[in-house]
Amino acid sequence: MGIKKKLGMGIASAVLGISLIGGGTFAYFNDIETTNNTFAAGTLDLNLKGVDDKENVDLNLENLKPGDWKVHQVRLYNDGSLSFKDVTLNTEYKVKDVQGDNNGEDFADHIVVSIMDLVSKEIYAENVPLSELDEIVLSENQEPGDRTRFRMDFKFHDNGKDQNKFQGDTLNLDMTFEASQQDGELR
């Protein structure tokens, strides 16, 4: 073996020995803490019921004539874990002109709606034509577990004029009750 190889082997052996000695005697203190966290989103759950809390809300009206009306009670329940900022009523409807004789007149202009809170007696709509009933705020700051009760009156308004053009017509109404969350906040 040449001098260079012997010298290289000696240096390698020395480095290995020093690293084993130094590595075996090296120590430091250590402490670890762990947190267990859960991020759970709350729920918005609007439940809509009729007067007896068991029935579905059924507002079907048949065989109407001018002057007829229906009174219905609607209950809004917050069955979620978050409070509602507000509950808004939106409507969409479609009229079927059976005779084709409405001449551009809207049957929904002749159905008027009144909405009143049964507890506070606040009136949210009074004799508003169904064609204009949209974006009505029915409830604000409703907490989980709370309910709000409304009286809703639907009336085929008798305007004292000939309304024969609406005989046999149908109006399909979709009412959407939309609950919105409160604004976000620092937690």
Specify whether domain 46-181 bears CATH 1.10.287: no
pLDDT confidence band for 108 (50 / 70 / 90): very high
Give domain limits for the chain: 46-181
Res. 27 pLDDT band, cuts 50 70 90: low
C-alpha to C-alpha distance for 149 and 151, rounded to whole angstroms? 7
- The pLDDT assigned to 111 comes to 95
70-79: per-residue pLDDT in tens?
998 999 999 9
Is the pLDDT confidence value at 52 over 70?
yes
| Burial profile 125-150: b = 16 or more Cβ within 10 angstroms, e = fewer | beebebbebeebebbeebebeeebeb
Residue 61 binned pLDDT confidence (cut-offs 50, 70, 90)? confident
Please determine, for residue 185, whether its predicted confidence score (pLDDT) is greater than 70: yes
Strands (E) located in the chain = 46-49, 69-78, 84-96, 111-117, 123-129, 136-142, 147-156, 170-181
